[in-house]
Chain A
Amino acid sequence: MMETRREQNLGIVVAGSVEKGTEVRLDSSASVEDMVVGRYVTIDGKKRRFFGMVTDISLGVTDEEIAISPPDTADAFSAEILEGTATYGSLHVLPMLTISDAVSGINEEPQPVKTVPSHFSRVKLASEADMEFVFGKENNSNFYIGNPLDMETKLCLNLETLVKRSNGIFGKSGTGKTFLTRLLLIGMLQKSKATNLIFDMHNEYGWAGSFEGGKGGVKALKQLFPSKVAVFTLDEENSRHRGVSTDFVVRIGFDEIDPEDISLLRQTLNLTEQAVEAVYQLKRHLGRSWMQETLDMSDSDEIEVLLKNLNIHESSFANLRRGLASIRRLPFLVPHAQVNAVDSILGYLDRGMNVVLEFGRHRDITAYMLVANMLARRIYQRYQEKTEVAMAGKVTPPTPLVITIEEAHKFLNHEIANQTIFGEIAREMRKYNVTLLVIDQRPSAIDEEIMSQLGTKITCLLDNEKDIEAVLAGVSGKNELKTVLARLAPKQQALIFGHAVPMPVAFRPKDWGTAKSYEEFTHGNDSPEKADKDIKDLFE
Chain B
Amino acid sequence: MNKIGEIVESGSSAFTAECYELHNIPALGSLVKVTGQETDIFGIVCQAGTAGIEPGRHPVARGKDETSEEAVYQSSPQLLKLLRSEFQVLVVGQKTSGRILQYLPAKPAHIHAFVYPCDSAEVKEFSRSFDFLNILVNNRLEIPTEDLTAAALREMSKEQTDPRAFLVGGGKALTSILSGDYRRLKAILARLKQ
Interface positions of A (Cβ within 8 A of B) = 28, 62-63, 65-66, 69, 71, 75, 77-78, 80-82, 84-86
Given known contacts A81-B171, A81-B172, A85-B175, A65 and B189 CB-to-CB distance under 8 angstroms: no
Given known contacts A63-B181, A77-B168, A85 and B176 CB-to-CB distance under 8 angstroms: yes
| B 150-194 to A, binary, CB cutoff 8 A, 1 in contact else 0 | 000000000000001001100110111001111101100110110
Q: Which of A62, A63, A66, A81 is close to B168, meaning CB atoms less than 8 Å apart?
A: A81
Inter-chain contact B180/A85, CB cutoff 8 Å: no
Most B CB within 10 A of own CB, among A80, A81, A86: A81
11 A-B pairs (CB sep. < 8 Å) = A63-B179, A66-B182, A71-B186, A77-B189, A78-B189, A78-B190, A81-B172, A81-B189, A82-B175, A86-B175, A86-B179
Inter-chain contact B193/A63, CB cutoff 8 Å: no
Query: Please, which residue of chain A has its CB at the minimum distance from the CB of B179?
Result: A62
> A349–B192 Cα gap in the complex (Å)?
81
Question: Number of residue pairs across A and B with beta carbons under 8 Å?
Answer: 44
- The interface residues of chain A lying within 8 Å CB-to-CB of B179 are 62-63, 86
Inter-chain contact B182/A85, CB cutoff 8 Å: no
Inter-chain contact B182/A63, CB cutoff 8 Å: yes
> A82–B167 Cα gap in the complex (Å)?
12
What number of B residues sit within 8 Å (CB to CB) of A? 19
- The interface residues of chain B lying within 8 Å CB-to-CB of A62 are 175, 179-180
Query: Please, which residue of chain B has its CB at the minimum distance from the CB of A63?
Result: B182
Nearest 6 pairs of A and B residues by beta carbon: A81-B171, A85-B175, A65-B182, A62-B179, A63-B182, A86-B175
Q: Which of B175, B180, B181, B183 is close to A81, meaning CB atoms less than 8 Å apart?
A: B175
- The interface residues of chain B lying within 8 Å CB-to-CB of A81 are 168, 171-172, 174-175, 189
- The interface residues of chain B lying within 8 Å CB-to-CB of A28 are 172
Q: What's the least CB distance linking B137 to chain A, in Å?
A: 15
> A86–B178 Cα gap in the complex (Å)?
9
> A82–B168 Cα gap in the complex (Å)?
9
Q: What's the least CB distance linking B25 to chain A, in Å?
A: 29
Given known contacts A71-B186, A77-B189, A78-B189, A84 and B172 CB-to-CB distance under 8 angstroms: yes
- The interface residues of chain A lying within 8 Å CB-to-CB of B193 are 75, 77
> A357–B90 Cα gap in the complex (Å)?
90
> A425–B167 Cα gap in the complex (Å)?
71
- The interface residues of chain B lying within 8 Å CB-to-CB of A71 are 186, 189
> A82–B175 Cα gap in the complex (Å)?
7
- The interface residues of chain A lying within 8 Å CB-to-CB of B183 are 65
> A82–B185 Cα gap in the complex (Å)?
10
Inter-chain contact A63/B180, CB cutoff 8 Å: yes
